[in-house]
A and B are shown apart, each in its own frame.
Chain A
Amino acid sequence: MNHAFTYLLEPVFQALRNRARRREPGDGLRAAVFGALALFVGLTLFAVVFWLTWQLLDYEELGDYLVRLGLSWLFLTFLSFLAFSSLVTSLSTFFLSEDMRLLLAAPVPVERLFYSRFAKTAAQSSWMVVTFLLPVLMAVGLARCAPLAFYFTAVLTVVPFVIIPVAFGALVTLVLVNVFPARRARDVLMLMGLLFAVGLVLLLRFLQPERLLKVESLPDVAAFFATLQAPVTPLLPSFWAGESLFSALRGAVDGLHAGALWTTALCALVVTRICYARYFFAGWSKAQEARKARFTRLAGLDWLLARLPLRAPARSLVVKDLKVFLRDTTQWSQLLLLLALALVYVYNFRVLDLDRIPYMSGTIKNVYAFVNLAMAAFVLSAVAVRFVFPAVSAEGAAFWIVRSSPISMSTFLWSKFWTGLWPVLLLAEGLTIASNHLLGVTPVLRVLTAAAIVGMSFALVGLAAGLGARYPRFAAENVTQVAGSFGGIAFMVLAVLFIVVMVGLLAWPASIFLWHQLRGDPISPARGAIASACLLAALVLCAATFWLPMRRGIRALEELG
């Protein structure tokens, strides 16, 4: 091949162009929803950061110090995100991507292949960080009336800052793929998920954010700032990026840190390229052998499911779904991440020690119980859109087996529903009960929210399974594609609306009840009737959100051409 490495990226751009030319149903809605959401998030970020930076102007040196520290923190967070993200992306772009078979069979020099895949990895793993940085850095620059050079420096800082963790991720992936038993290449993903989860928990513990709330426990102001300073080390690229930008903000040029960033980035790129030239093919070849991976026979699962009171067809479907899920390590790794985040979420309630904060009175705690309910329901929706919504589409090209078998579409979809419901219900219920317990919420609210999350689990899982059947994507390459389809977006929009309405319907009667209980007044019959009507409406809403999409989903499957 005589072309530059960018030639290998042309199919990506051509595919994007073709995709834009040939619109599919729902594209407009998806673009509108995502566009509005992105604009909202971007503007909010800009406004918040602008306001914060503006406020800090009043504090002269302290303000400067906090901006400087804030930039280092921001880049440290992104550094860890980029490092993990590029690990996972490298495995996919370099070793598991389908088109590599086509490219490797062609006379493409390995260096050009490396640069094209590196660019793809960098773009895929960093677009979110860059999109996030854009409004933040613009807000900081505008609030500080920074010179134009600041924005140039921002671009010149972000580029090497992205290259370093991506090179690190690509190198670690290369080592993992070469070192690990070749038949388990995909399992590497699971390990990475686990490492990230552990890393996340450790990072949070390292930061000890709860200490910031116990200012009196720190001996002096210096100790308070030392706490803030703790994770910022001058040896990390995040520090160099922060320092470089802070100098530019004040109209100065920090050649030392900018130089450190660029030399490290270029060095990392060259070292990674040399390693890939030497070890890539061996690693790729081993990753191919992983297709013959050993697998667990899951005999215990067979034994357990054989005892479930299910008819044979339904049982077969459940056994198949569970085994496919448990043997797909890419699914597991995501679940591990989710569990790690859930643990951190619950853990925060334990360490925050809310009772010692004077304004965190009982009322606010009880209000927080509903925020907590909404949060648990959002987690539930995220799990449902990722695991339940794609359940029908996941049958893919093998769906003919179900369609040609003597199983009704009703049995099929209900099996998907029940398989999805139990884990989701256990997770949501566990989160709600544990966090309310740690918060010290009133017993009445504990019971109410614990019961509500059961209804919401039924409703959201029913909605996900039903819409998944109504808008299946049997040709999708992976579940992420299914979750991001028109049906997936529609599910998320409906789920958010459902959660908002449900929290409203439950919070109002609960607050009436608590208010009267606090004052020792009896509730008037009219208010009691309205409160009961709200609770009844919540129940009806749950039932409708659960039942109607399931019915529509079954009908849609029966009418499939």
Chain B
Amino acid sequence: MIEVQELVKAFGRFRAVDGVSLDVAPGEIHGFLGPNGAGKTTTIRMIAGLLAPTSGTVRIDGHDLAREPEAAKASLGFIPDRPFLYEKLTAGEFLRFHAGLYGADGDGLPARVAELLDLFELRRFEGELVESFSHGMKQRLVMCAAFLHRPRAVLVDEPMVGLDPRGARLIKDVFRAMSAKGVAILMSTHTLEVAEEMCDRISIILGGRIIARGTVDELRSMAGSEDEDLTPVFLKLTGGGGLQEIDEVV
């Protein structure tokens, strides 16, 4: 559903993303992990069609993003880490506008808006200006918008930032339900527990390259630490040494 091949993004001589290839199948939740500055957000923005790649291809639902950008984007639901919202619109107005962008503003729109607002517990704020929303509410509103047009693939950058435990649980349940219905989800996150709990497969990026890919168990095998949780595995794979110096510094 989401196919990325040999994606490269160079800023001058620096290659922020250096030949990344990914494949997210329908119904799969694919984790995209990496330390800060590894190239996660740059990759995600190229897949979302927000940044032109230096080379490589992105295909969504069979559509080449460079050649058929509208068809590719119509199949995708994108949830950025720092979303833009029209602060002077109400939640309802924003959702209806968003639906129009995706051509999803037919007769069923009011019901669809209502069910998503209900799902994300924002129904009573439908007539409120977005500027009055908390960070978590804005995050939930962006998710409503991203799911309005029933995307076949979802691209999400840091989904849990700013959400309370109840909100985080809700998002996990929604993602699982979508995955069960065949939606491909590519999720970038720093929350390793979430990745471990939710993802079918995980790709780890470091220095712009994918250094490891597989299920959580396969990653444990690669790191040579069979019974550990994902954090030490991640640190071993990404070279998180130096932590032993903390005592000295503190």
Residue from B12, B71, B72, B88 with most neighbouring chain A CB atoms (10 Å) = B88
Cβ–Cβ contact A11 & B102, under 8 A: no
In angstroms, Cα B101 to Cα A7, docked, is: 8
Tell whether B51 is near chain A: CB-to-CB under 8 Å. yes
Cβ–Cβ contact A18 & B51, under 8 A: no
| B51 partner residues in chain A, CB cutoff 8 A | 285, 288-289
| B88 partner residues in chain A, CB cutoff 8 A | 14-16, 18-19
Shortest B47–chain A CB gap in Å is 10
Among candidates A2, A102, A289, residue contacting B11 with C-beta atoms closer than 8 Å: A289
Residues on A facing B (Cβ under 8 Å): 1-3, 7-8, 10-11, 14-16, 18-19, 22, 98-99, 101-110, 182-183, 281-282, 285-286, 288-289, 292, 475
| A285 partner residues in chain B, CB cutoff 8 A | 50-52
Shortest B208–chain A CB gap in Å is 14
Tell whether B89 is near chain A: CB-to-CB under 8 Å. yes
B 75-119 binary contact with A (CB < 8 Å = 1; else 0): 010101001101011100110011011110000000000000000
Cβ–Cβ contact B100 & A7, under 8 A: yes
Cβ–Cβ contact B50 & A1, under 8 A: no
Cβ–Cβ contact A107 & B74, under 8 A: yes
Shortest B63–chain A CB gap in Å is 10
Cβ–Cβ contact B84 & A98, under 8 A: yes
| B12 partner residues in chain A, CB cutoff 8 A | 183
User: Which residue of A has the minimal Cβ distance to B155?
Assistant: A105
In angstroms, Cα B14 to Cα A289, docked, is: 12
Tell whether B49 is near chain A: CB-to-CB under 8 Å. yes
| B69 partner residues in chain A, CB cutoff 8 A | 107, 110
A106-B129 contact, Cβ under 8 Å, with A14-B89, A14-B93, A18-B90? no
Q: Per DSSP, are chain A's interface residues mostly helix, strand or loop, or mixed? A: helix
Cβ–Cβ contact A15 & B73, under 8 A: no
Tell whether B70 is near chain A: CB-to-CB under 8 Å. yes
Q: Per DSSP, are chain B's interface residues mostly helix, strand or loop, or mixed? A: mixed
Tell whether B48 is near chain A: CB-to-CB under 8 Å. yes
Cβ–Cβ contact A183 & B50, under 8 A: no
Cβ–Cβ contact A106 & B102, under 8 A: yes
A101-B80 contact, Cβ under 8 Å, with A1-B102, A10-B97, A107-B102? yes
Cβ–Cβ contact B101 & A1, under 8 A: yes
| A15 partner residues in chain B, CB cutoff 8 A | 86, 88-89
In angstroms, Cα B76 to Cα A107, docked, is: 9
In angstroms, Cα B69 to Cα A10, docked, is: 23
Among candidates A1, A101, A182, residue contacting B103 with C-beta atoms closer than 8 Å: A1
User: Which residue of B has the minimal Cβ distance to A19?
Assistant: B88
Among candidates A8, A98, A107, A289, residue contacting B71 with C-beta atoms closer than 8 Å: A107
Cβ–Cβ contact B70 & A109, under 8 A: yes
The 8 nearest A-B residue pairs measured at CB = A15-B88, A285-B52, A106-B101, A107-B70, A107-B74, A107-B73, A105-B78, A98-B84
Instruction: Tell me the chain B residues, 4-62 only, with Cβ under 8 Å from chain A.
Output: 11-12, 45, 48-52
Among candidates A10, A11, A18, A104, residue contacting B49 with C-beta atoms closer than 8 Å: A104
Cβ–Cβ contact B11 & A292, under 8 A: yes
In angstroms, Cα B151 to Cα A105, docked, is: 13
User: Which residue of B has the minimal Cβ distance to A3?
Assistant: B100
User: Which residue of A has the minimal Cβ distance to B90?
Assistant: A18
In angstroms, Cα B129 to Cα A16, docked, is: 12
Chain A to chain B contacts (Cβ below 8 Å), 12 pairs: A2-B103, A11-B86, A14-B86, A14-B93, A18-B88, A99-B84, A99-B86, A101-B50, A104-B49, A107-B70, A107-B71, A285-B50
| A288 partner residues in chain B, CB cutoff 8 A | 45, 50-51
| B97 partner residues in chain A, CB cutoff 8 A | 10-11, 14
In angstroms, Cα B53 to Cα A289, docked, is: 12
| B89 partner residues in chain A, CB cutoff 8 A | 11, 14-15, 18
| B73 partner residues in chain A, CB cutoff 8 A | 105-107
Cβ–Cβ contact B84 & A282, under 8 A: no
In angstroms, Cα B72 to Cα A475, docked, is: 35
| A109 partner residues in chain B, CB cutoff 8 A | 70
Cβ–Cβ contact B50 & A108, under 8 A: no
User: Which residue of A has the minimal Cβ distance to B73?
Assistant: A107
In angstroms, Cα B12 to Cα A183, docked, is: 9
| B90 partner residues in chain A, CB cutoff 8 A | 18
Residue from B48, B101, B131 with most neighbouring chain A CB atoms (10 Å) = B101
Beyond A8-B101, A107-B73, A109-B70, list 7 extra A-B contacts (CB 8 Å): A1-B103, A16-B88, A18-B89, A19-B88, A105-B49, A107-B101, A108-B70
| A99 partner residues in chain B, CB cutoff 8 A | 84, 86
In angstroms, Cα B80 to Cα A98, docked, is: 13
Shortest A400–chain B CB gap in Å is 15
